[in-house]
Homo-oligomer: A and B are copies of this chain.
Amino acid sequence: MTDREYGIGEVARRTGLSVHTLRLYERAGLLAGEVRRDSHGRRVYTAWDVEWLTNCVKFRATGMPLTTIAELARLVGEGNGNEAKRLELLREHRQRVLDQLDRIHDCLELINNKVASYERHLAAGATGNPW
């Protein structure tokens, strides 16, 4: 648990998000509590913030909408007592991710078949016509 602090540019580099997007996420309430500011009004991110944002990126990568992340952030920011809700939210998302994986595997099969069929087609010199 480092207590290092980071400027927005540094956070952008570390999370892979643009500074624009970081500010957007903040406005959208993804940040579980206010971001601290230095004496000039500049954002000061903690190591914890950076870690959280890294997780947000992963949530986004699996299609969790900003509003849902914001909801989770709100619960986390609220502190004790709502852990059951957070768990529920996470479980729901996990289920959606699992469903998504199913669908993707389904499609992957189609693609694999098509790729194989074109490979055969090309190797054999135009036998049959895939699609």
Cβ of A122 within 8 Å of any chain B Cβ, yes or no, is: yes
Residue in chain B with minimal CB distance to A130: B83
Interface size class of A (residues with CB under 8 A): 35 or more
Contact of A97 among B55, B93, B108, B122 (CB under 8 A): B108
In the bound assembly, the distance between CA atoms of A90 and B38 in angstroms comes to: 50
In the bound assembly, the distance between CA atoms of A78 and B107 in angstroms comes to: 24
Given contacts A90-B111, A97-B104, A101-B101, contact A122 B58 (CB under 8 A): no
Cβ of A35 within 8 Å of any chain B Cβ, yes or no, is: no
Given contacts A83-B121, A87-B118, A121-B83, contact A104 B61 (CB under 8 A): yes
In the bound assembly, the distance between CA atoms of A107 and B100 in angstroms comes to: 13
Q: Collect the chain B residues with CB atoms within 8 Å of residue A80's CB.
A: 126
Contact of A118 among B83, B98, B108, B110 (CB under 8 A): B83
Q: A95 → chain B, closest Cβ, in Å?
A: 10
